[in-house]
Structure formats: C-alpha cells, structure tokens
Amino acid sequence: MSRGVYNFSSGPAMLPEPVLERVRSELTDLDGSGMSIVEISHRSSAFEEIAHRTESTLRRVLSIPEDYRVLFMQGGASLQFSAVPLNLAPPGSTVDYLVTGHWSSRAAREAARYCSVNVAADGGPLKYRAIPDPADWSPTSDAAYLAYAANETIDGVEFPFVPPTDAALVADMSSTILSRPIDVSRFGLIFFGAQKNLGPAGLTIVVVRDDLVGGARPETPTLLDYAEVARSGSMLNTPPTFSWYVAGLVLEWIEAQGGLTAIGTRNRRKGELLYGAIDGSRLYRNDIDSRHRSWTNVTFRLTDPALEERFLVEAAQAGLVNLKGHRSIGGLRASIYNAMPAEGVETLVEFMTDFERRVLHDADAEATS
C-alpha cells in the first residue's frame, strides 16, 4: 500500500502506480522537448506519434480486426447513448435494448428520443439481480441493432456470455473493457469511457465495424458522426490529449503484465476471493445471481444496514477507501479493476473478516448480558 490507501472507486478509478510515476517524470518535459504533454498542440508531430502509438497498442491488446475503426471521442459513455442511435438507426427503425440495470436503462431511454425502442429483455422484475434468460427475450426481427451493457457498474450484475442476436451487436463495455480477452469480431460496435480501466476521464473510445460507419442521420452533430470522426483521425476538434496520452501508457502497462489473458486470470482470482469471503460470512451478503456477478464491481450489504456507516468509517481508517455503494441503490461496492492489486483485495477481505468478528462478538456479548 505504497500510497497509503487502496482505492476501490468505481471511476474515475485507481491507475497503475508505474504509469502515474511515468506521467510525473515526463510531466514538465516530454521527450526532452522542454514542454509538457498538456502544453503541446494536438497537431504536433509529438502528439501525432502518441496518438498513433496508443491506437496501435489498443489494437494489439484487444486484437481488433482490420475492418474496425477506433475512434477517440469525448462526452463520456453517456454521449454514446445518443451517438449510437443517431449513427446506426435510420429514421423509422426499431432498435432492441437489453435492460439489466441503471446504465442500460439510461441508454434505452436516450435512444427512445430518436427511434422506436423495443426492450427485448427487462431485468427490472428480477430487481436487476440477474440477467434474464435469452429464451425469454423478445427481440424485433428487423432491429437496426441490439444494445446492452456488458457489466452494470452500479448494480454489480454482468453478462457471462455474449448476447445471441442476428442484429448488429452494440456493447457498452465501460466497466469491463480490458479486464479479460474478448472476441471483438462478435460485436458491431463497442464503446467505453476511459476512466475505469484505461486512464483519466475525458476520453471515450468507440470500436466500430466499417459497415456500420457512414449511415448517420443528417441532423447528427458533426462531432458525433462516426464517419466524420474516422475521416479526421479523431481530430475534428481538440481531443483530450492528456487522457489519450495516459491511456497509451496504461495499455503499455497491460502488455507488460502479460496482456489480457494474464490480467483476466488475476481479475478472476480477485473476484473469487472477495465473493468467497462474502458468501462465507454471516454479516455480509451479495444478492446477485451467482452466475451473473460482476468481476469488476462487487456490490454487497451488511445483514444489519445500520452497521454500514461504521464499516465505511473503520475501513477508511484502515486505508480502504471509496467503498460506498452508488447513491441510487446504497449498500457497499468494491470496484476491483486492473490496477487494484491482489494485495488490495486480500487486505479488504482481512478487514471484513476482522470487522465481522468484532461485530458478532459485540452482538453475542449483548445477547448474553
């Protein structure tokens, strides 16, 4: 715990320390230029080199096929909730959404401003604690696309499979991207904000198959038109240069860790350790269907909710910070993205075990007094 805390924030989230150290060392003088990354033009050859290198590293790490464009955009994943229908849904078309939690629900609501939305699966009746069974979905036969959120960051529920569909598949991977290998060729479009597994906020990446580029509605803002963004090399206007640069360093760090296969193995172990501790306890519980639990956002509650505040205070005293659940659902949440080392999760589990022992000891003492 070299910085004094383990930070379980859901995003912006902790970044690998070697990356932060490198940023610090280069911050006042990039490559002997006497200028900082935040002081140079996005049109300079130095930045062009960084931009190009970041894209090639991303392509290598994710094994992105040749016929996909990689777009570096702004506005967060939330702006893609509008950009996707504007680019992919012709006027009068129907689009399918799988609503499995907070973010896919927001995405479906935004798309309804532009086209007819069919909620092909609704996890609401399951309280967003499980992914509805594909056998019960009701997709449209000619949907322009089927959209879903691979992982619901707030609810802590995740698809353990790629949704079966004949339509172009659109995935919001904001909180799972780069957490393990994926087969990009199964998707029409993948988008994600950078601020969880890739770098600072401000950068949103869209990976889109060529045949889905070029059909934007005429009223689409130029900055959201995938064809225009692609044509300009993602430089229609000033891009978030600093976030783009840090993303490149994080990708190089991922490669140095052994790539996504090694990272995925580590992430799976971290999740198993934490869920194992929750399941084996009398004080903590996780209500998500065990087949659909998020690898990256572990939500949990205390069987006595009145103890949650004390848990948070004592955890923070022990250097375990940002464990409060999202304000919309409460409870607790540990986000364990790539940069969270196994020791961070082990330390959290030790704290949880000790907290439980003390709380149950107090309760037993009270019962017998």
Q: Please identify, using beta-carbon distances, which residue of 7 and 281 lies nearer to ligand PMP.
A: 7
Nearer to ligand PMP, 176 or 286 (CB): 176
Does 324 qualify as catalytic in the annotation? no
Q: Where are the beta strands (DSSP E) in 213-351?
A: 284-285, 297-302, 320-321, 332-335
76 binds ligand PMP (CB under 6 A): yes
State which residue, 77 or 323, has the beta carbon closest to ligand PMP: 77
Instruction: Select which of 172, 244, 270, 324 is catalytic.
Output: 172
* Length of the chain counted residue by residue: 369
> Judging by DSSP bridges, how do beta strands 94-99 and 145-149 pair with one another?
parallel
CA–CA gap between residue 228 and residue 214 (Å, rounded): 8
Cβ-in-10-Å burial (0-12, 13-18, 19+) of 75 comes to middle
Active site residue 196: yes
Q: Residue 172 pairs with which residues in a beta bridge?
A: 149, 191
Closest CA to 216 of 59, 119, 334, 89: 89
CA–CA separation, 168 and 162 (whole Å): 12
Name the catalytic one among 96, 103, 155, 270: 103
**Identified binder of ligand PMP from the candidate list 103, 159, 275, 351, rule CB under 6 A:** 103
Q: Tell me the residue type at 10.
A: S
Residue keyed to tokens 């609501």? 109
56 binds ligand PMP (CB under 6 A): no
- Which residue lies nearer to ligand PMP by CB, 11 or 85? 11
Interface with ligand PMP (CB under 6 A), residue total 11
Judged by CB, which is closer to ligand PMP: 14, or 30? 14
Encoding tokens for residue 58?
């991303």
Tokens 């959120």 belong to which residue? 149
CB 10 within 8 A of CB 297: yes
List of residues 6+ apart from 356 with CB closer than 8 A: 281, 282, 283, 284
CB of 117 to ligand PMP, least distance (A): 17
For residue 84, give Cα distances in angstroms to 115, 146, 252.
11, 11, 29
Contact pick of 6, 9, 11, 213 for ligand PMP (by CB under 6 A): 11
Residue choice 61, 70, 77, 274 for contact with ligand PMP (CB under 6 A): 77
Q: Is 122 a catalytic residue?
A: no
* Interacting span for ligand PMP (CB under 6 A) from 20-28, 42-50, 71-79, 120-128: 71-79
Of 76 and 325, nearer to ligand PMP (C-beta) is 76
CB of 81 to ligand PMP, least distance (A): 8
Please tell me whether residue 296 binds ligand PMP under the rule CB under 6 A. Answer: no
Pairing of strands 297-302, 284-285: antiparallel
What is the x/- site pattern for ligand PMP, positions 176-215, by CB under 6 A? -----------------x----------------------
Name the segment binding ligand PMP (CB under 6 A); options: 76-84, 136-144, 227-235, 260-268.
Answer: 76-84
User: Which residues between 140 and 179 bind ligand PMP (CB under 6 A)?
Assistant: 149, 153, 172, 174-175
Pairing assessment for the beta strands 297-302 and 332-335 based on DSSP bridges: antiparallel
User: Which CB, 175 or 286, lies closer to ligand PMP?
Assistant: 175
Instruction: With CA atoms as reference, report the closest residue to 116 among 145, 93, 146.
Output: 93
| Active site residue ranges | 103, 172, 196
Interface residues with ligand PMP (CB under 6 A) are 11, 76-78, 103, 149, 153, 172, 174-175, 193
